[in-house]
Amino acid sequence: MERLDKILASQGAGTRSEVRKMIWAGKITVDGELCRSIDRRLEPSEHEIAVCGVPVCYRKHLYIMMNKPRGAISASNDSHVQTVIDLLDPSLRRKGLFPVGRLDKDTTGLLIITDDGAFAHAVTSPGKKVFKTYRATLDGALSEEDVRCLTEGAVIDGGEKCLPAQVAVLEEENFVYEIKIREGKYHQIKRMAQSVGRRVVSLERTAVGALTLDSGLARGEARELTEEEMTLPLIN
């Protein structure tokens, strides 16, 4: 059971103070009846709550897929730089949202945004070893020896060894490769490429586990995950 003002604030209806003003002003109904009590406690999934006659579709947590563009940082807020949260449509915004893991400022592609901490931990925890798939364009071709080094576990700057990666050629003439990793070290793909004498020209994340980037999402666009996508095995 939760307080009505807290429920509405959690669903993006406004701040707690804004919601209280709406309740006092008679703009909130519960099961069709006017409610002016901010102290009322109820189970949101068992009642129909409406704001100015518009039903509130209660969701305990939000799970959002974004096609991250270049330039936006993977953070919840920043006073100087545009964040991925800033890019969300107002209909998807609510308190507590954060990106699951990080993509570098100049890396594009699949980014999950949620307010579910347990879900985020399951996806990003090193012990879970969830595969992240990237489309990497390099400044030249990888030799067989280069691929062997990456698939056996690249030793990056500082002597740190990565877990074995999976590498496949996507466009041989354009030096485009699919690289799958099960870690999230700082600038990992770029540092792996450097370990074999190559430089990453562009990098896009295309999948997390079995969840793939929606090709219909333009850069900077986002949508909620579907029920089917929520059942996909993100955890390997």
Instruction: Tell me which residues are annotated as active site.
Output: 104
Integer angstrom CA distances of residue 161 from 115, 157, 236: 32, 9, 21
- CA proximity to 167, closest of 149, 155, 183: 149
Q: Which two tokens stand for residue 61?
A: 């947590």
d(CA 202, CA 216): 20
The whole-angstrom separation of Cα 163 and Cα 155 is 9
Tell me the C-alpha distance between 183 and 81, whole Å. 26
Tokens linked to 113: 């945004």
Q: Which of 103, 106, 110 is nearest to 71 (CA)?
A: 106
Burial of 72 (0-12, 13-18, 19+ CB in 10 A): buried
